[in-house]
Amino acid sequence: MKHTLVRMLAVMVLALVGFAANPAGATPPGGPYYATPSWDQTLPASTRFIVLSNMSNAAVLDRETGLVWEQSLSTLSFTWEQAHGHCNGLSTGGRLGWRLPSLQELASLVDPTVAPPGLRLPAGHPFQNVRWTHYWSATESASDAGNAWFVIFRTAEGEGFVDHHPKSIDDGVWCVRGGLAMDPQ
């Protein structure tokens, strides 16, 4: 019993020393990957996105939101219903539990400062195969249940970042893990 108590105390001391050596929530190379999400902060892509080695480098932690995104997107297109099925059945980085993101979660990846017709993601992002113009969100249109919202990552002059259209149209899919997994629309 005494030996167990001493071992627990030693682990706690090591954790405190590690915390003191890791100021401002900085993430040391190689992990740990603890996010300090705060939707009001803006981090540069070099510290915002962390490729997760504990998930075979197949997923990316977004430290601004605390969400985990698949790093290499499918090059296939899907209807809205198929997109849900694709994410729900996905096993990436040896993990299940993926889902289609809400409109707000997906839009959080957009960098509105990128001029058209560029890819509107933060410079230096680690994502691969971002090929489609539109990516489905889990958010249905409140005014028309036959439509769902999508995020536009490649835009032409004058286009916005989000829009909606019929769920039967084929678009890209970008799966996510974590968060509240709720869709308020």
> Residue 75 is encoded by which pair of tokens?
């090059």
Residue 106 lies in a domain: yes
Residue 18 pLDDT class (50, 70, 90 cuts): very low
**CA–CA dist 22, 86 (Å, integer):** 38
Residue 5 in this model has a pLDDT that exceeds 90: no
The pLDDT score that the predictor gives to residue 1 is 52
Residue 23 lies in a domain: no
Asked whether 48 and 34 are in contact (CB, 8 A), the reply is: no
Residue 125 lies in a domain: yes
Of all residues in the chain, the percent with pLDDT exceeding 90 is: 55
- Considering its fold, how many domains does the chain have in total? 1
pLDDT in tens, 111-149: 988 888 888 999 899 999 998 889 999 999 999 999 999
CA atoms 60, 162, 37, 122: torsion sign: positive
How does DSSP assign 133-165, residue by residue? Answer: SEEEEEEEPSS-TTEEEEEESB--TT--SEEEE
Residue 102 lies in a domain: yes
Residue 169 lies in a domain: yes
Residue 160 lies in a domain: yes
Residue 95 lies in a domain: yes
Q: Give every CB contact of residue 111 below 8 A, 6+ residues apart in sequence.
A: 120, 121, 122, 123
Range of the domain at 77: 48-177
Q: Per-residue pLDDT averaged across 14-30, rounded?
A: 41
The pLDDT score that the predictor gives to residue 25 is 41
CATH number of 122's domain: 3.10.100
Residue 127 lies in a domain: yes
Predicted TM-score (pTM) of the model is: 0.77
The pLDDT score that the predictor gives to residue 181 is 59
Of all residues in the chain, the percent with pLDDT exceeding 70 is: 75
